[in-house]
Amino acid sequence: MTLRGEVDLAVASLAEAGVPSPRTDALLLAAHALGCDRGEVERRLLMGWEPDEGFLQRFGGLVEERATRLPLQHLTGTAPFRRLELHVGPGVFVPRPETEQAVDHVLAALVGLDAPLVVDLCTGSGALALAVADEAPTASVTAVEVSDLALAWAARNIESTGLPVELVAADATADPVGVPGLADLVGRVDVVVSNPPYIPTGMVPLEPEVAEHDPDIALYGGSEDGLAIPLAVAAAAARLLRPGGLLVMEHADSQGRSLPRALAATGAWLDAVDHADLAGRPRTTTARRV
């Protein structure tokens, strides 16, 4: 059977299993099994290429695992994020395309600043910190994470990208005054960016890839409205930021009004504004430190 026939069978199998993007996933799994990019897979489809037994075994095993709703990124070992390809796997939150918007807000805030300071609280895989370091090379970027597993993934991504991000093992909700690696940044940071855990407690995500494989520590916001941890992270951010410094925080689409309102109510923030993602859903709040 040609590669096209194998891919078509894989698409049907993944669709039956409820995988949201069966064709894309089948092509990416084929690329991983071949050790090439998706473009090469598309070329071989057009050529009518007939795969060997080794490929069939590798590809078939990957498709079977994906059909159990194991995340695609756990199978390939990587996730794209802006211009980067990051290592991910069990124990770390898989970065999402919608989070890329937060980087745009950070970059806009850094325009005209010399040697700006940026801190990423709840860095996970290091996605936000590394993207900022990649696209704003004059910035000094610090990434903060409390999970040992996530720290290991972030450290691996810092090493593999070669980007100059300082990794700090700490609770992002703690007062940074007492945290080595953060204490000397108090009151000096230009931008704090964060994709904190924000899912309301008791609200289990519908997607098995998220509910069963993303770590709970990266998902749940610690209260019925999901804002307990985001607001604690924002309080730490307020300590780090200089007056007029910017907070950029991702949130659930149900928190587009509640998070800006809660930030404004603390008295620490001005101009708390929400921004929709490319799908038109509330996604990111920005606010200025008083």
**Binding-site entries:** 145, 195-198
- Give dist(CA 207, CA 62) in Å, integer: 19
Dump strand ranges (E) for the chain.
78-81, 84-87, 117-121, 140-145, 165-169, 189-194, 241-250, 269-276, 282-289
| Residue 125: both structure tokens together | 């895989």
Paired strand residues for 99: none
Give the type of residue at 177: V
Q: Is the Cβ–Cβ distance between 155 and 82 less than 8 Å?
A: no
- Give dist(CA 151, CA 122) in Å, integer: 10
> Which of 182, 24, 18, 155 lies closest to 91 in space, CA to CA?
155
Binding-site positions for substrate: 195-198
Binding-site positions for S-adenosyl-L-methionine: 145, 195
